[in-house]
Amino acid sequence: MATIGTANPATGKPLRDYPAHDWAQLDARLSRAQAAGTAWARTAVAERGQRLRAIGDALTRRRAEYAALVTEEMGKPLTEALAEIDKCAWNCAVVADRAPSWLADRPVPTPPQRSWVSYEPLGVVLAVMPWNFPFWQVVRFAAAALAAGNAAVLKHAPNVTGCALAIEELFGDENLLSALLIADEDVGALVPG
């Protein structure tokens, strides 16, 4: 079975090997994300906001743990890693507070009786993320995607696989955010057409 290895960039010392998902595991994860997204799309925006606040609170509670992981996997100084986790928690709160107004229907003046702009969930959104802000890039994307009623699948940079799995765990067991452990060259197979 293929593995994805991580190493401490400061020392070159291997950290951990993670078993890569095979195609059957990927298919199962994508199916669970689709089902989760369908259910999540029916959830009220206020309830989505409560979930984001809980994620932000968990980031704050576990900031030292997450920052240490960022430092270990990608070499960011600990003070900067702590600031990254704090910014993620702040982002969750901002999106939770503002999503109801951002996503509210907006009337549009037109000749018909009634016209409006409405924001509808897309379904499952694929995020292919870089290594340099392993929590921030993902949480910034995921908070907005989840607030809008979508589920997400994450293909993170291989050197921050531990961060990807920590973020998946942070977002909960409902498959609203699933990490896909695959080789970079296999990402194209996930995108239709």
Which letter does DSSP use for residue 11 in this model?
T
Residue in this structure with the two tokens 């600990």, named with its chain if needed? 78
Q: Which residues of the chain have pLDDT under 70?
A: 1, 191-193
Specify the pLDDT at position 176. Answer: 96
Do the Cβ atoms of 174 and 32 come closer than 8 Å?
no
Measured between alpha carbons, how far is residue 70 from residues 6, 56, 82, 85 in Å?
A: 12, 17, 9, 9
Specify the pLDDT at position 2. Answer: 87
Specify the pLDDT at position 14. Answer: 96
Specify the pLDDT at position 116. Answer: 83
List the CATH code of the domain at 21-105+117-190.
3.40.605.10
Specify the pLDDT at position 193. Answer: 64
CA dist 12 and 30 (Å) reads 34
pTM to 2 decimal places:
0.92
Domain residue ranges of the chain, discontinuous segments joined by + = 21-105+117-190
Which letter does DSSP use for residue 19 in this model?
E
What's the N-to-C CA distance of the chain in angstroms?
Answer: 28
Specify the pLDDT at position 110. Answer: 84
Do the Cβ atoms of 69 and 59 come closer than 8 Å?
no
Which letter does DSSP use for residue 148 in this model?
T
Q: What tens digit of pLDDT does each residue of 13-24 get?
A: 999 999 999 999
Specify the pLDDT at position 113. Answer: 80
Regarding beta strands 151-155 and 124-128, do their DSSP bridges make them parallel or antiparallel, or are they unpaired? parallel
